[in-house]
């Protein structure tokens, strides 16, 4: 630790810290453009100049290491003058187009020009103009505005692991771009918009849509993958204008995956905004009482063991609980939340959680990925693994078809038997981590894969009272909540679809081919998008998407997080737990909660994670007994579950932006037409 003073304030910072970090520790704001705490130091914008005692010139505080007894001054005439000068240089080639710039109002350059720059320009010569670059359907570039801080270049190379951006040519002609025109291949590309301090890289879907001061900001959680990324939903009136990440060091740091960020236009399209009832083979608009009556008539006439319920991938815990309780009041015992047929053992929490925690990746020294294409299934978690790799001292390997994870990883093989090829590294590691993809369980020998992965963790010493190295990676934000609530009971979805039930209640369950549902089965679809399953339904109940309800989601770690309502659901659509509560009253099986607080009290009583919002279960493994498998381990190669990253869920499938991405990046799945 080094002690120094910043403007007379004594601070103590670790050796090797930079002066800018010391200034931050002292609570003093230093203007900066190129410096970013999660990227390497470039030191090329020169905005962070400060005065250091005995130094003859102003020093760039981001690149200047602290020393014991150093005296730093950040508000002297020399510093002010230096900043004014730097700002004047930065503005020489920066266009004064703030009124038509999408960054306006949240622009570092604009803010700092006001805060630290001169009050007038002395520059009368020509400004340089740079041709705009095409970097894909998500990012709009206006390269004349670029101040060449190279944050985007460093982000692409260091965090995203897709070194496709660079600074070509030099001096006056220096340009940021891909040189060869191409769409960036990162699933984290949206973060370039956030880290760009000016309006050079802006959001294409949000272009010219709104000003930041017009937007109402609501904290939310990204449910479109299982990371549980903290987000902020920006709305204007009844419309979601954009979605941005929030900082959560334990989960997403400050990054966000593209699907969650850019598929918000899917929230406006193909929505279910009124109840529908199938009459004489055709879906017809109906009122809520008519829809409820149609359901009640069917359920009352069906034996409880012939009723089934399926909870979907994006469903909040409140709604899942309400459906579970409703089904129990009918005496129905067939509940399933595993639409992919994954052989998940829900009897114990650590059988299906990401037990090491996402932050635990930082401590791991050997990581084995089994049957998971981590880069597409959880881009933010993959970036965390990449960050761990950049720090060195970690062995990484994967089992499954060949894939590019953005960091070097040993490819052990395609099938389950290859799992054993990494035992040496796992045994040698102090904190071995096994990340099992949910997709690896969605096969005939899934239970055996789960048992084998657990056994591997156990044998390699990954299960200790201090460290839990067994991790299951889920795909969507609603999957773990349902497992925590025990929404796995009685017949499986496969059996239910095979004609073993007469009535099937699908709560946002749209992750399978509805043609597999038996022709005689009465299907209730409750959800927000008119996608594949809604077309098969006999009754449709319009629900709310995740931006439209106060809801709790559990991420793959088992971390319960709250999302808040940003807008109202469209038309007659309602929050899902309220629909179930209303229905239950109509059929005389009133659910025992009237308010969201009462539902949450019931949630907390049902599973401990809901009583500790944003907390994880105690680390470590106290019981190393593994899940049981009745099937033998097969030889078949793993298949990654997401055929298309951009069209993986129903919101994304309704999104034009995601459809364009899918057509550009390939892997476009045939879209099933809804009625």
In terms of CB distance, is 161 or 197 closer to another protein?
A: 161
In terms of CB distance, is 408 or 632 closer to another protein?
A: 408
Q: How far apart are CA 547 and CA 260, in angstroms?
A: 12
Q: What is the DSSP letter of 529?
A: B
Lay out the site mask for another protein across 112-151 (x = CB under 8 A, - = otherwise).
----------------------------------------
Work out the number of other CB atoms within 10 angstroms of the CB of residue 113.
20
Q: How far apart are CA 328 and CA 324, in angstroms?
A: 6
Window of 156-164, 205-213, 364-372, 658-666 that interacts with another protein by CB under 8 A: 156-164
* Nearest CA among 383, 365, 397, 394 for reference residue 469: 365
Find the distance separating the first CA and the last CA of the chain, reported in whole Å. Answer: 66
Q: What is the DSSP letter of 159?
A: I
Is the CB of residue 599 less than 8 Å from the CB of residue 577?
A: yes
**Helical axes 576-586 vs 288-300, angle rounded to 10°:** 60
What is the maximum span of the chain, computed from C-alpha positions, in angstroms? 89
Q: How far apart are CA 11 and CA 4, in angstroms?
A: 6
Query: Least distance to another protein from the beta carbon of 199, Å?
Result: 23
Judged on CB neighbours under 10 Å (0-12, 13-18, 19+), 56 is exposed
In terms of CB distance, is 178 or 302 closer to another protein?
A: 178
In terms of CB distance, is 123 or 179 closer to another protein?
A: 179
In terms of CB distance, is 41 or 167 closer to another protein?
A: 167
The two structure tokens encoding residue 227: 């990371």
In terms of CB distance, is 186 or 555 closer to another protein?
A: 186
Strands of the 470-473 sheet, one edge to the other = 410-413, 395-399, 366-370, 432-437, 470-473
Is the CB of residue 482 less than 8 Å from the CB of residue 337?
A: yes
Bridge partners (DSSP) listed for residue 551: 563
In terms of CB distance, is 144 or 178 closer to another protein?
A: 178
Helix (H, G, I), strand (E, B) or coil at 220: strand
Query: Least distance to another protein from the beta carbon of 149, Å?
Result: 16
Residues 486-525 that bind another protein (CB under 8 A): none
Distances (CA, A) of 357 to 252, 360, 362, 434, 472: 12, 5, 10, 12, 10
In terms of CB distance, is 261 or 386 closer to another protein?
A: 386
Query: Least distance to another protein from the beta carbon of 655, Å?
Result: 29
In terms of CB distance, is 18 or 162 closer to another protein?
A: 162
Is the CB of residue 473 less than 8 Å from the CB of residue 225?
A: no
In terms of CB distance, is 163 or 465 closer to another protein?
A: 163
In terms of CB distance, is 168 or 663 closer to another protein?
A: 168
The two structure tokens encoding residue 47: 């905005």
Residues 157-196 that bind another protein (CB under 8 A): 157, 163-170, 178-180
Q: How far apart are CA 421 and CA 431, in angstroms?
A: 18
Task: Kindly state the number of chain residues that form the binding site for another protein, as judged by CB under 8 A.
Answer: 12
Please give the backbone phi and psi of residue 367, each rounded to the nearest 5 degrees, phi first: -130, 125
Binding site for another protein (CB under 8 A): 157, 163-170, 178-180
């Amino acid at each position: 630790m080094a002690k120094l003073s910043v403007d007379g304030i004594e601070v103590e910072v670790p050796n090797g810290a930079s002066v800018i970090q010391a200034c931050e520790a002292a609570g003093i704001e230093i203007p900066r453009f190129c410096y970013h705490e999660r990227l390497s130091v470039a030191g090329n914008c020169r905005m962070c100049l400060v005065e250091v005692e005995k130094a003859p010139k102003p020093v760039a505080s981001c690149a200047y290491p602290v020393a014991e007894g150093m005296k730093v001054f950040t508000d002297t005439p020399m510093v002010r003058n230096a900043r004014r000068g730097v700002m004047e240089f930065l503005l020489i080639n920066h266009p004064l187009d703030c009124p038509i710039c999408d960054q306006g109002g949240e622009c570092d350059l604009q803010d700092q020009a006001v805060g630290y720059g001169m009050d007038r320009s002395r520059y009368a010569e020509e400004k340089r103009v740079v041709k705009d670059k095409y970097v894909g359907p998500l990012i709009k570039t206006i390269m004349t505005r670029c101040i060449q801080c190279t944050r985007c270049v460093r982000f692409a190379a260091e965090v995203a692991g897709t070194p496709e951006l660079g600074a070509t040519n030099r001096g006056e002609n220096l340009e940021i771009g891909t040189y060869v025109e191409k769409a960036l291949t990162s699933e984290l590309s949206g973060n370039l918009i956030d880290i760009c301090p000016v309006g050079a890289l802006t959001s294409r879907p949000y272009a010219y849509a709104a000003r930041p001061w017009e937007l109402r900001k609501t904290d939310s959680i990204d449910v479109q993958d299982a990371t549980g990324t903290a987000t902020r939903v920006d709305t204007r009136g009844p419309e979601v204008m954009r979605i941005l990440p929030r900082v959560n060091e334990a989960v997403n740091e400050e990054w966000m995956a593209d699907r969650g960020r850019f598929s918000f236009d899917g929230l406006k399209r193909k929505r279910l905004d009124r109840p529908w009832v199938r009459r004489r083979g055709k879906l017809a608009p109906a009122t809520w009482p008519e829809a409820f009556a149609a359901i009640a008539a069917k359920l009352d006439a069906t034996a409880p063991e012939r009723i089934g319920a399926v909870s979907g991938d994006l469903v909040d815990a409140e709604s899942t609980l309400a459906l579970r309780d409703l089904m129990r009041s009918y005496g129905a015992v067939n509940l399933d939340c595993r639409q992919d047929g994954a052989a998940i053992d829900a009897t114990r929490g650590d059988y299906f959680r990401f037990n090491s925690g996402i932050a635990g990746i930082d401590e791991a020294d050997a990581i084995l990925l089994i049957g998971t294409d981590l880069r597409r299934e959880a881009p933010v978690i993959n970036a965390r693994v990449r960050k761990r790799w950049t720090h060195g001292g970690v062995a990484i390997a994967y089992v499954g078809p060949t894939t590019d994870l953005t960091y070097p990883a040993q490819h052990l093989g395609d099938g389950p038997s290859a799992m054993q090829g990494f035992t040496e590294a796992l045994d040698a590691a102090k904190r071995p981590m096994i990340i099992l993809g949910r997709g690896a369980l969605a096969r005939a020998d899934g239970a055996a894969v789960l048992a084998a992965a657990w056994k591997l963790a156990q044998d390699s010493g990954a299960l200790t009272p201090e460290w839990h190295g067994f991790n299951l990676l889920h795909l969507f934000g609603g999957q773990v909540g349902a497992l925590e609530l025990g929404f796995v009971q009685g017949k499986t979805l496969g059996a239910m679809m095979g004609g073993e039930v007469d009535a099937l209640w699908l709560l946002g369950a749209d992750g399978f081919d509805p043609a597999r549902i038996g022709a005689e089965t009465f299907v209730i679809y409750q959800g927000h998008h008119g996608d594949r399953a809604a077309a098969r339904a006999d009754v449709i109940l319009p629900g709310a998407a995740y931006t439209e309800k106060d809801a709790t989601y559990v991420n793959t770690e088992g971390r319960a997080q709250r999302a808040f309502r940003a807008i109202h659901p469209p038309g007659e659509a309602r929050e899902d737990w309220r629909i179930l509560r209303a229905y239950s009253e109509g059929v005389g099986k009133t659910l025992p909660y009237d308010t969201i607080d009462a539902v949450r009290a019931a949630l907390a009583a049902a599973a401990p994670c809901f009583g500790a919002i944003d907390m994880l279960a105690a680390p470590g493994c106290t019981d190393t007994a593994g899940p049981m498998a009745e099937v033998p381990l097969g030889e078949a190669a793993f298949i990654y579950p997401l055929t298309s990253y951009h069209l993986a869920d129903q919101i994304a499938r309704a999104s034009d932006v995601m459809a364009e991405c899918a057509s550009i990046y390939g892997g476009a799945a045939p879209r099933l037409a809804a009625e």
